[in-house]
Amino acid sequence: MIVICASEPGSWLEPTLAHYATRGPLTLVAPWMPRGAAERLPHRVVRLPGFAALRLARRIYSGDRVERQMRFRFAYRMAFDRAVARWLPASTREVVCQSLAARTTLATAAERDVHRTLVEDLPALRGIHEDLDDAARALPGLPFLKRYRAPHSVVVRQESEWLLADTRRVRGHFAAAYRHDQGLCADVLDPPSLRVRSIVRRPAHDRPRLLLAGLATGRNGVVAAVHAAEAVGAELLARGGPGAEPPHLLARPHVRTAHGRVASLDGVDAVLAPAWCESYAPEVTAATRAGIPVIATRRGAGPVVADVLVPRGDAIALAAAIRDTLAVSGRRFAAQ
């Protein structure tokens, strides 16, 4: 029996279930699974008691405070890990776990000589901290970049899981390269399935329209995106949300508000993903499937291969890449 442990829902689950669908009987441990969903899945679903109540407590305790959200999320995953390790059946021949919900379960599986797979649905925390520090030094006016850092014990726990796993599956090429630098092998997960509806194209005489992937935050490279779009005379679509900065971003004459969990690609000529940190904005995957060019940093490209790679925080290089990309597609821009 293959046991897939999903402490929280995520885009990794669909391709993971598809990957194991033909390998034998599957048991999905998913305490968050809504009632009725189990009947729609061709697998046995196990709900561990008490965790649904913990998810409700998380919303009450955390609210909109990022520090509390992350602290509770890590504690929740660790508690789930301990519960799965106690429950793990003797018939298990492979166990699949999520980041920070794996160490105890993987150690238990190792004692039984069970194959262990780690799905890394979280970025490498040590790398995230280093990248946030780089961004904060380059952009001292954005205080959100200096806020939450995971405790050292959590960072160590994540990295110990890497060593306990026989197989590691990560969400993007940068993550795979990062693990390789640590002397570990990792496979890249298939991108999640996104249904891309028909894209509305605009007349060629309109000024170019660019979309910033992810929320308009410093860690997602919003400052470079704003400056680069202004330099080429383009309109920039950006999604607001928690931690959005700089102030009055959407009041700038060439910036417009993008709406939705995944911003619409209607009329978009290129998607910008100039993130400072490892990120997986859904607009990047959607743009690739729709045939829209993606201009990104190595960390911002997520699970896809970007059309153009640019350095982090370099608005001049980003503007040059936009000009080249728009020129290839025949779009106009203002050379300033």
Task: Find residue 257's DSSP bridge partners.
Answer: 238
CATH topology agreement for domains 2-188 and 209-328? yes
DSSP per residue, 67-112: HHHHHHHHHHHHHHHHHHHHH--TT-SEEEEETTS-HHHHHHHHHT
| Alpha-carbon gap, residue 274 to 223, rounded angstroms | 9
Q: Write down the pLDDT at residue 336.
A: 39
**Are 24 and 50 spatial neighbours (Cβ–Cβ below 8 Å)?**
no
With cut-offs at 50, 70 and 90, classify the pLDDT of residue 303.
confident
Examine the pLDDT at 332 and tell me if it is beyond 90. Answer: no
**Residue from 286, 306, 289 nearest 298 by CA:** 306
Q: How many CA atoms lie within 13 A of 214 on its CB side?
A: 27
Domain 2-188, classified CATH 3.30.420, yes or no:
no
**Residue from 204, 213, 212 nearest 235 by CA:** 212
Q: Write down the pLDDT at residue 330.
A: 63
**pTM for this prediction:** 0.86
The structural domains of the chain, with segments of one domain joined by +, span 2-188, 209-328
Q: Which of 76-90, 134-148, 194-208 has the lowest mean pLDDT?
A: 194-208
Angle between helical axes of 66-87 and 51-62 (0-180°, round to 10):
170
For 209-328, give the CATH class: alpha beta
Among 48-62, 73-87, 204-218, the range with the most confident prediction by mean pLDDT is 73-87
**Are 21 and 113 spatial neighbours (Cβ–Cβ below 8 Å)?**
no
| Alpha-carbon gap, residue 207 to 311, rounded angstroms | 25
Mean pLDDT of the chain: 87
Residue 248 is which amino acid?
H
Long-range CB contact pairs, 140-143, < 8 A, 24+:
141/246, 142/218, 142/223, 142/245, 142/246, 143/245
Task: Please state the rounded mean pLDDT for residues 18-24.
Answer: 84
Task: Please state the rounded mean pLDDT for residues 12-19.
Answer: 85
How does pLDDT run across 191-250, given as a tens digit for each residue? 666 555 566 666 665 789 999 999 999 999 999 999 999 999 999 999 887 777 877 777
